[in-house]
Amino acid sequence: EPEVTQTPSHQVTQMGQEVILRCVPISNHLYFYWYRQILGQKVEFLVSFYNNEISEKSEIFDDQFSVERPDGSNFTLKIRSTKLEDSAMYFCASSERLRKRGELFFGEGSRLTVL
């Protein structure tokens, strides 16, 4: 069964450092998303991406965050200068084109720990 894959599974970084989280969505999907889950809290939407541009973003997704799809397969989330409060599990998700009513398929997540 096709799946969304994410790397790394866990990253520890120092405050102020740049972090890039990588995702490989399901191959025939064209809508991509990043969500995050701070430990013990709800899953929060960060950003959605379609046709090589951001289609929607939350207030969490400030200028420190960016996304891109550099090579047609990877979908990356970059945090330019990490803060302690960026420590969370980051989930990538994708969904099929034209099936806006379809479910999102999530990766296993990348746990980011900022020290």
**Contacting positions for another protein (CB under 8 A):** 4, 31, 33, 35, 41-45, 48, 50, 55-56, 91, 93, 95, 100-101, 103-109
> Least CB distance from residue 62 to another protein, whole Å?
17
Nearest alpha carbon to residue 88 among 4, 3, 19 = 19
Q: Are 62 and 48 in contact (CB under 8 A)?
A: no
Three-state SS at 84: helix
Closer to another protein by Cβ: residue 33 or 114: 33
> Least CB distance from residue 100 to another protein, whole Å?
6
CA separation for the pair 48, 54 (Å, rounded): 6
> Least CB distance from residue 81 to another protein, whole Å?
26
**Identity at 110, one-letter amino acid code:** S
Closer to another protein by Cβ: residue 21 or 81: 21
Cα torsion through 106, 53, 79, 41, rounded to 10: -40
Closer to another protein by Cβ: residue 75 or 107: 107
Instruction: Say whether the peptide bond before residue 8 is cis (omega within 30 degrees of 0).
Output: yes
> Least CB distance from residue 28 to another protein, whole Å?
15
Closer to another protein by Cβ: residue 15 or 43: 43
